[in-house]
Amino acid sequence: MRRPDNHRYIHGSEPKEQRRLSRLNDLLNQACLRELALTGGETVLDVGSGLGQFTRAMARAVAPGGRVVGVERDKQQLNEAQRQAEKARERSAVEWRHGDVLGLPLEKREWGTFDVAHARFVLEHLQEPEQAVGQMVRAVRPGGRIVLADDDHQMIRLWPEPPGFTELWQAYIRAYEHLGCDPFVGRRLVSLLLDAGARPRRNHWIFFGSCAGDPEFPAFVQNAIGVIETARKVIVGPLGFGTKPFDQALRAMREWGRRPDAAIWYGLCWAEGVRG
């Protein structure tokens, strides 16, 4: 059996994936920012900051007087984040750092000083999410918040269900497992906080769904298709899922997206704890 790659992001960093992630931010960021409930002036550590759109939204929320550090391992993502920040005239709003969530690039004096440490869509891509959460707990001050938002890929319903979707989605889930990652990590967020030494304070769902008739529904459909398309190499390669059923299922999803009764039901798992 092939040894899982601890540094492989299942979706890659191609331009098409960058565009999907950018649109995903547009769809989700306001709801996440409301749950984060920043009050201004905080110091925030954004772990796995990706394209940085949400990182910059946090920077706007804590200004003036706040400080945001965004840490991203993928240099392509980090470069694109800086390009977008420059275009938005917000280059100085965030302190961008290249580094790994499993070994945060913080100076000795910075450990234990942040008011908030945040990670979204990060833990599902790690073989050792426990280590990442432990680093986040160490980074915040006593009483500081650790906020985790991540997927439980079992919690999705497309209705009426497109032909072949269940089989393809199960293969998508197995692709995470093939890489040694947990596709259901969202249900574990409270446990991960406790095990890392934080005191869990609350958990919540952020609804990430839509239906036909909503102007944004086509973007939700494209996102659902995109997460599968970008995992194609693993699904049809090592997992042996047939190319023909793969393409047929995606075609059925596109046709389903034009139905007047189509609906996506999905929830992003959210958990918050504090350092004692």
Does residue 51 form part of some domain?
Answer: yes
CA dist 231 and 221 (Å) reads 16
Handedness of CA 150, 155, 159, 165 (dihedral sign): positive
What confidence score (pLDDT) does residue 8 get? 63
Report whether 56 contacts 80 (CB < 8 A). no
H helical segments located in 95-237: 129-139, 165-178, 189-195, 217-229, 232-236
What confidence score (pLDDT) does residue 184 get? 97
Does residue 137 form part of some domain?
Answer: yes
What confidence score (pLDDT) does residue 5 get? 42
What confidence score (pLDDT) does residue 1 get? 30
Sole residue written with tokens 């070994």 = 103
The number of folded domains in the chain is 1
CA dist 31 and 208 (Å) reads 9
Which tokens hold the place of 267? 């929830």
What confidence score (pLDDT) does residue 19 get? 83
What confidence score (pLDDT) does residue 252 get? 98
Does residue 1 form part of some domain?
Answer: no
What confidence score (pLDDT) does residue 12 get? 73
CATH at residue 82: 3.40.50.150
First to last CA, the chain: 42
CA dist 153 and 84 (Å) reads 29
Q: Please, how many CA atoms are within 13 Å of residue 67, restricted to the half-sphere of its CB?
A: 7
Does residue 9 form part of some domain?
Answer: no
One digit per residue, pLDDT tens: the chain, 276 residues? Answer: 333 344 467 877 677 777 888 888 889 999 999 999 999 999 999 999 999 999 999 999 999 999 999 999 999 889 999 999 999 999 899 999 999 999 999 999 999 999 999 999 999 999 999 999 999 999 999 999 999 999 999 999 999 999 999 999 999 999 999 999 999 999 999 999 999 999 999 999 999 999 999 999 999 999 999 999 999 999 999 999 999 999 999 999 999 999 999 999 999 999 999 999
CA dist 151 and 259 (Å) reads 26
* Nearest residue to 173 (alpha-carbon basis) of 1, 10, 16: 10
pTM (predicted TM-score): 0.93
**Cis-peptide into 142, omega within 30 deg:** no
Does residue 217 form part of some domain?
Answer: yes
Which tokens hold the place of 50? 């990706």
Does residue 240 form part of some domain?
Answer: yes
Residue 190: which domain range?
15-275
